[in-house]
Amino acid sequence: MTTIDPLFDLTGKIALVTGGSRGLGYEMVKAFAAHGADCVVVSRKFDACEAVAEEVRALGRKALALAAHVGKWAEIDAMLETAYAEFGRIDILVNNAGMSPQMPSDEVTEQLFDSVVNLNFKGPFRLASQVAKRMRDGDGGVIINVSSTGGIMPLPGVVPYSASKAALNQIGKSFAREYGPKVRINTLSAGPFLTDIAKAWTPEQRETADNALGRPGLPEEVVTTALYLASPHSSYTTGALLQVDGGTY
């Protein structure tokens, strides 16, 4: 048996991670499972979720793979019903799914605008509110909204994305007041990370970044912050926005 770090012991917890089949969401699922949590892995593609769920089961944890478009409330509600039917509760929710298409603002179509806002803000609002209510009515829990430096600094060419992430930042603070003290809700503001999206970057962008560390982050470098926010050892942290971005400026 692997010894679990007592600071981040999530034994017996149920964690649901959207966008959990790749990138930062995948790293969080693996970390939560390695520290004792059973996991619900959610993304649009079931096969990708199931592959990650198998990795979780290989660690001796329970796992449920669910396909859902988390920008659509009907699919969110159906997904949650299945998750609660399987596990009875959710202790940790990570709102991680998102999209950031880049193009001049004057070329953004209404359909694209709606897609970005739905996935980055409308869906996380619905998911967090529904889970937070059940947590408050039960034994409490933790919600982590994964945002971006784009939500706190001007980024040209991705204005709908930046605006939706700014809105996500705000609901973290507002929900912390609305559903506390039994529910803690925090925002993890991620900077540039070498996830799947980095494949479209230039070689220079993959090696350097406009931050204090001068480089993009490795996906696994998000893990400790996620574990901190998910664990009881952050019991006095709520409504916070933690920047994990290499000191972006």
DSSP symbols for 176-212: HHHHTTTEEEEEEEE--B-SGGGGGS-HHHHH--SBT
Q: Which amino acid is at 53?
A: A
Rounded CA separation 57/230 (Å): 20
CB 242 within 8 A of CB 191: no
Phi, psi of 133 (to 5 degrees): -65, -45
Calpha distance 7→139 (Å, rounded): 21
Burial of 202 (0-12, 13-18, 19+ CB in 10 A): exposed
Note if the bond before 181 is cis, omega within 30 degrees: yes
H helices, E strands: number in the chain:
8, 7
Q: How many CB atoms lie within 10 A of CB 54?
A: 12
Give pLDDT tens digits along the chain (249 positions). 456 777 799 999 999 999 999 999 999 999 999 999 999 999 999 999 999 999 999 999 999 999 999 999 999 999 999 999 999 999 999 999 988 888 899 999 999 999 999 999 999 999 999 999 999 999 999 999 999 999 998 788 999 999 999 999 999 999 999 999 999 999 999 998 888 777 777 888 889 898 999 999 998 899 999 999 999 999 999 999 999 999 988
Closest CA to 209 of 192, 226, 188: 192
Q: One of 84, 161, 228, 236 is an active-site residue; which one?
A: 161
Whether 26 is catalytic: no
List the domain boundaries for the chain. Answer: 6-191+224-239
Which residues are paired to 132 by β-bridges?
none
Would you state the pLDDT for residue 7? Answer: 79
**Helix H or strand E encompassing 116:** helix 110-117
Stated pTM of the model: 0.94
Q: State the CB neighbour count (10 A cutoff) for residue 152.
A: 18
- Cα separation, 66 vs 189, whole angstroms: 25
Q: Is domain 6-191+224-239 annotated with CATH 3.30.2400.10?
A: no
User: CB–CB of 39/20 below 8 Å?
Assistant: yes
pLDDT given for residue 6 in this prediction:
75
Q: How many Å apart are CA 47 and CA 61, to the nearest integer?
A: 19
